Amino acid sequence: MNTLISNKLRTVIAVFALALCFIAQSQFAFGQQIAEPQRLAELRRLRDQLQLSRSLGDADALVVLGERAVIEAAQQLVGLEFTLANGNVLRLTSVEGELKPAAAMVKIGLQAKSSVTINLQLIGRINGGEIADGALRLPLRVSEVKLMNGRFSSLFIKTLFGEWLKAETWNDELPAIEIPLEIAETMRIPASRFEVAGEMPMEIATPAYQAPLKFAVTSLLVLDKRAVIALQLNQGATATNAVQASFAGADGDDPVALEDEIARMSAGLAADGDLRLRLNARVVNALLAQIAAAQNTDFNFRLKRGRLRTEEVSAIVKITNYTDVESGEGRADVTQLNIERIADGKIHARLGGQGELDARLRGREYGIPYGLSPHVTFAIRDQNLPLEFLSEGERIILRASPGSTLPISFRFNLKVAGRSFGFNRDSVVQADRWLSRVELPSFFGREISLPRKMEVDAGGNLYVTERRKLNYTLSNLRLSAKDDAIDITANVRVNPPR
């Protein structure tokens, strides 16, 4: 019997860890109260982590999640059940939590059904994340195991479960909760086509493309009523913000004073709502650099009929020289697209590029008609490009400010009847029609596949037999562009799984 119960509970542990991994991957954490010496060690460690991570507020991306959204999402795991090889059923019956500085309290209800129904409650805590062996590890410690079956003899239950009613047994068996250090995101730009009027009428087409971005998780902190995740943009970069538990300093014997110090140090890591996403200017610059480097052709030009040049020459008689464009095709490459600053709700960027086109021209020079097919060069020279953000449902869109334009300088070099001449022509492209919709990476609002039923075979292998979808919706979304960063805040609603 003890062997059977032991196997059952090891399966519970595996599923319990799976549930906690889901919470962690959704950027949520929980924990529980402990004795004062351990509590002091936790607070010292968090204090030291904040001291060494003074640049945390300057992370490439910073995600702050409020307690209400965290707990509401975790409670969607209630009802998770799995069937053992012998037909017995185990079920997750409740999840409660409270976020505190350095750790978070958690209460997990479990129910085992066989010949009798046993209800347990695990009380424990999860501390802030630690970087180890290429993963972010969330330390989990169970401090108490409670029997919730009042109808059965306590002696009978203790005999049935034996050592599994001790927190130490769970802590010895619980696997480490690890989440990947890398988060992959994608920036998308749709294809577009628009007309350009003026001296050089043309049609411009821009291709669709998407560029991958990868972020490394550098730290996960549990603060009062909120969890904070810091991300670093560079792929493969070594995370240095997470402080190992053994590094915590020994000074500080007053938990109240330590909590006050932590509150002061983390005052900037707050959110006016359930969620705050702060993107540093470096991330936006990386997005724009991806646009510039994604492909060699960012614009495709198609020239339309029009008069490029008219020149009146007075000789014996008045002569009109002119050049008309019949058609032409060309392409341009954006070589520079970077941010100068983010302030006052705007992004001030600079853009440069160059290109070429093959044109078919007809005209008359001193009475001599001609038809030529010159190779023409043109350039966009370090132009100011104002950008702005707007919300569209649960998406954040980057676009050129309405009415913004880009002047393009063309250079035509011709040789007619032994006479070489050239002329310049300028055209104006509507930048707001080119960069009209750049979807920023979405760190929230995703649909997550959540296991609902699982089965365990005789060998202890775990299989998901039924899933349900969990997603989030955002409301009251606000944007702010200042201090070389973009701040996005919103309230979060966790929709019931389906």
- Mean pLDDT, residues 39-44: 86
pLDDT band at residue 338 using 50, 70 and 90 as cut-offs: confident
Looking at the predicted structure, is the pLDDT value of residue 74 above 90?
Answer: no
- Mean pLDDT, residues 66-89: 83
In this structure, the answer to whether residues 75 and 194 fall within a common structural domain is no
| Pair of tokens at residue 54 | 């003074």
Looking at the predicted structure, is the pLDDT value of residue 327 above 90?
Answer: yes
HSE, side-chain direction, 13 A CA sphere, residue 370: 19
Domain end call among 416, 439, 462:
439
HSE, side-chain direction, 13 A CA sphere, residue 274: 21
pLDDT band at residue 53 using 50, 70 and 90 as cut-offs: low
235 vs 92: which has the higher pLDDT: 92
13 vs 60: which has the higher pLDDT: 60
Least confident of 88-102, 159-173, 267-281, 430-444: 159-173
% of the chain exceeding 70 in pLDDT: 79
Rg (the chain; Cα; Å): 32
The reported pLDDT for the residue numbered 386 is 92
In this structure, the answer to whether residues 342 and 193 fall within a common structural domain is yes
The reported pLDDT for the residue numbered 156 is 54
| Any domain includes 496 | no
| Any domain includes 14 | yes
Does pTM top 0.85 for this prediction? no
pLDDT band at residue 126 using 50, 70 and 90 as cut-offs: confident
Q: What is the rounded distance in angstroms from the CA atom of residue 479 to the CA atom of residue 485?
A: 11
Looking at the predicted structure, is the pLDDT value of residue 15 above 90?
Answer: no
Q: What is the domain range of residue 322?
A: 189-207+290-439
Looking at the predicted structure, is the pLDDT value of residue 33 above 70?
Answer: no
| Any domain includes 353 | yes
Q: What is the rounded distance in angstroms from the CA atom of residue 367 to the CA atom of residue 361?
A: 16
In this structure, the answer to whether residues 104 and 136 fall within a common structural domain is yes
In this structure, the answer to whether residues 90 and 130 fall within a common structural domain is yes
In this structure, the answer to whether residues 360 and 461 fall within a common structural domain is no
In this structure, the answer to whether residues 360 and 467 fall within a common structural domain is no
Looking at the predicted structure, is the pLDDT value of residue 443 above 70?
Answer: no
Least confident of 28-32, 381-385, 471-475, 482-486: 28-32
| Any domain includes 333 | yes
In this structure, the answer to whether residues 426 and 313 fall within a common structural domain is yes
Rounded to 5°, the CA angle 454-142-119 comes to: 55
| Pair of tokens at residue 439 | 């979807």
Helix (H), strand (E) at residue 37 = helix 36-52
The reported pLDDT for the residue numbered 324 is 92
The reported pLDDT for the residue numbered 361 is 92
Least confident of 49-53, 156-160, 224-228: 156-160
The reported pLDDT for the residue numbered 422 is 83
The reported pLDDT for the residue numbered 1 is 35
> Helix (H, G, I), strand (E, B), or coil: what is residue 150?
coil
The reported pLDDT for the residue numbered 326 is 93
| Any domain includes 184 | no
Q: What is the rounded distance in angstroms from the CA atom of residue 33 to the CA atom of residue 123?
A: 9
Looking at the predicted structure, is the pLDDT value of residue 356 above 70?
Answer: yes
In this structure, the answer to whether residues 350 and 310 fall within a common structural domain is yes
In this structure, the answer to whether residues 106 and 136 fall within a common structural domain is yes
Closest CA to 397 of 185, 189, 186: 189
The reported pLDDT for the residue numbered 151 is 54
Helix (H), strand (E) at residue 267 = none
% of the chain exceeding 90 in pLDDT: 11
In this structure, the answer to whether residues 303 and 348 fall within a common structural domain is yes
Mean pLDDT of the chain, nearest integer: 78
| Any domain includes 46 | no
CB 460 within 8 A of CB 436: no
Let me know if 312 is exposed, middle or buried by CB neighbors in 10 A (0-12, 13-18, 19+).
exposed
> Helix (H, G, I), strand (E, B), or coil: what is residue 27?
coil
The reported pLDDT for the residue numbered 173 is 66
Domain end call among 393, 423, 439:
439
The reported pLDDT for the residue numbered 27 is 31
In this structure, the answer to whether residues 455 and 335 fall within a common structural domain is no
Task: Please measure the distance between the N-terminal and C-terminal CA atoms of the chain and give it in whole angstroms.
Answer: 37
In this structure, the answer to whether residues 299 and 434 fall within a common structural domain is yes
Closest CA to 438 of 224, 290, 296, 241: 290
| Pair of tokens at residue 209 | 């493309």
Task: Report how far Cα 429 is from the mean position of its chain's Cα atoms.
Answer: 32
The reported pLDDT for the residue numbered 226 is 92
Q: 36-40, 71-75, 336-340 — which one is most confidently predicted on average?
A: 336-340
| Any domain includes 57 | no
- Mean pLDDT, residues 358-379: 89
298 vs 128: which has the higher pLDDT: 298
pLDDT band at residue 302 using 50, 70 and 90 as cut-offs: very high
The reported pLDDT for the residue numbered 389 is 85
The reported pLDDT for the residue numbered 221 is 86
The reported pLDDT for the residue numbered 162 is 60
- Mean pLDDT, residues 113-130: 76
The reported pLDDT for the residue numbered 358 is 92
Q: What is the rounded distance in angstroms from the CA atom of residue 304 to the CA atom of residue 307?
A: 10
| Pair of tokens at residue 323 | 């050049």
| Any domain includes 260 | no
The reported pLDDT for the residue numbered 49 is 80
Total domains, the chain: 2
